[in-house]
Amino acid sequence: MKAFVLDRYGSKKGLRAGEMPDPELREDDVLVQVHAAGVNLLDSKIRDGEFKLILPYRLPIILGHDVAGVVVRVGSRVRRFKPGDEVYARAADHRIGTFAEFISIKEDSLASKPKNLTMEEAASIPLVGLTAWQVLIERANLKKGQKVLIHAGSGGVGTFAIQLAKHVGAFVATTTSTANVDLVKGLGADVAIDYKKEDFAEVLQDYDVVLNSLDAETLEKSLRVLKPGGKLISISGPPDPEFAKHLGGSWFLKLVMGILSYQIRRKAKRRGVSYSFLFMWTSGEQLREITSLLDAGAIRPVMDRVFPFESTNEAMAYVEAGRAKGKVVVKVR
């Protein structure tokens, strides 16, 4: 099958387009013919070797985390899906590889594709949708009437998280550039801070939750907008010891992550708030919850561009440039 392959970390040439063996099918796997694959910054970070400590892949590997496609075959223990079903998923860590014509995915990771979405729209959802769900619903336990600040509101996670927070009934503030103020307000943001004109930390106060996806400076300033007992949850690091525990990591990994996050955890404690790092995990069950919101029209996908499969490297470069409004997808079939 055709695929985009990472042969070595930090490759400036990008991924290699080449032929790879068809994926093997385990008893609890579903073989999916890929129609579209979402492109995420995570793909570039893995390519550059930034996650070697957390996700030690054996190269060569096929990159790509998001998929929408059609079931071709199922393993002997699969009960929920059959050939011909339209499905979508975020492939599990160590089982990634959606930049290809086929991928084998565990049944637990899959959900039926939302009925009213195209394959490209469906492929834009899983990673960002699950990230927003796990931060706001699982970790923050966001409630009606609470206040949440979502950084980078026009990005993939931001566009989804704003809509999810509004669906819950929260008051939503977000940061964005001048060009995207109307976009984020159209998605439901109550307050849109144009970071080119205003400092969010000077304007906002008494927030219950902050979802951070930006740099260390933004992370630290975010502490100032939280009220006592508030939660600062970051998807861009630094990782904390709890995350090392979740990974089942060694004492050394826990120590390293403890050192990396020591400063921000100490500053959070001083302010009477909490800091935690979230690295999203795959979940077909949560994706089915998200599907019901998409089918009901409570959340809509926000798409920037669809690239042809052969332009996967260009699609990754476009995402890395940081200017995409919503999601970027490659059309495989």
Element (H, E) at 141: none
Q: How far apart are CA 230 and CA 248, in angstroms?
A: 27
Task: Spell out the residues 6+ positions from residue 65 whose beta carbon is closer than 8 angstroms to its own.
Answer: 38, 40, 42, 43, 90, 91, 96, 98, 126, 127
C-alpha 247 chain-centroid distance = 18
DSSP 278: -
CB count in 10 Å sphere of residue 154: 25
CA-CA-CA-CA torsion sign (103, 105, 111, 112): positive
- Asked whether residue 190 carries a pLDDT value surpassing 90, the answer given is yes
Compute, in degrees rounded to 10, the torsion defined by CA atoms 55, 49, 4, 155: 90
Locate 298 and state its tokens. Answer: 């409570």
Nearest to 35 by CA among 74, 75, 64, 76: 64
C-alpha 125 chain-centroid distance = 9
Give residue 248's pLDDT. 81
> What is the tens place of the pLDDT at every residue in 102-134?
999 999 999 999 999 999 999 999 999 999 999
User: Which residue intervals of 117-231 are DSSP H helices?
Assistant: 119-123, 126-133, 156-168, 181-186, 200-203, 216-222
Instruction: Return the CATH number of the domain spanning residue range 128-277.
Output: 3.40.50.720
Q: How far apart are CA 101 and CA 35, in angstroms?
A: 8
* Percentage of residues of the chain with pLDDT beyond 90: 90
* Residue that the structure tokens 């393993």 belong to: 75
- Asked whether residue 253 carries a pLDDT value surpassing 90, the answer given is no
> What is the tens place of the pLDDT at every residue in 215-247?
999 999 999 999 999 999 999 989 998 888 887
The radius of gyration of the chain's CA atoms, rounded to the nearest angstrom, is: 19
Contact 88, 287 (CB under 8 A): yes
Give residue 22's pLDDT. 96
Decide: pTM greater than 0.95. Answer: yes
| Architecture category of domain 2-124+301-331 in CATH | Alpha-Beta Complex (3.90)
User: Which residue intervals of the chain are DSSP H helices?
Assistant: 41-47, 119-123, 126-133, 156-168, 181-186, 200-203, 216-222, 241-247, 251-270, 284-295, 312-320
User: Rounded to 5, what percent of the chain is helix, strand, coil?
Assistant: 35, 25, 40
> What is the tens place of the pLDDT at every residue in 274-311?
999 999 999 999 999 999 999 999 999 999 999 999 99
Q: How far apart are CA 109 and CA 89, in angstroms?
A: 6
Contact 263, 216 (CB under 8 A): no
- Asked whether residue 170 carries a pLDDT value surpassing 80, the answer given is yes
CB count in 10 Å sphere of residue 284: 22
Burial of 102-139, coded b for 16+ CB within 10 Å and e otherwise, reads: bbbbbbebbbbbbeebbbbbbbbbbbbbbbbbbbbbee
> What is the tens place of the pLDDT at every residue in 4-51?
999 999 877 899 999 999 999 999 999 999 999 999 999 999 999 998
Quick check: helix, strand or coil at residue 5?
Answer: strand
* Percentage of residues of the chain with pLDDT beyond 70: 100
Q: What is the DSSP string of 13-52?
A: T-PEEEE-PPPP--TTEEEEEEEEEEE-HHHHHHHTTTTT
156 band by pLDDT with thresholds 50, 70 and 90: very high
Half-sphere exposure of 225 (CA within 13 A, CB side): 26
214 band by pLDDT with thresholds 50, 70 and 90: very high
| pLDDT, the chain, mean | 96
Residue extents of the structural domains in the chain: 2-124+301-331, 128-277
> What is the tens place of the pLDDT at every residue in 96-108?
999 999 999 999 9
Stated length of the chain: 333
C-alpha 294 chain-centroid distance = 17
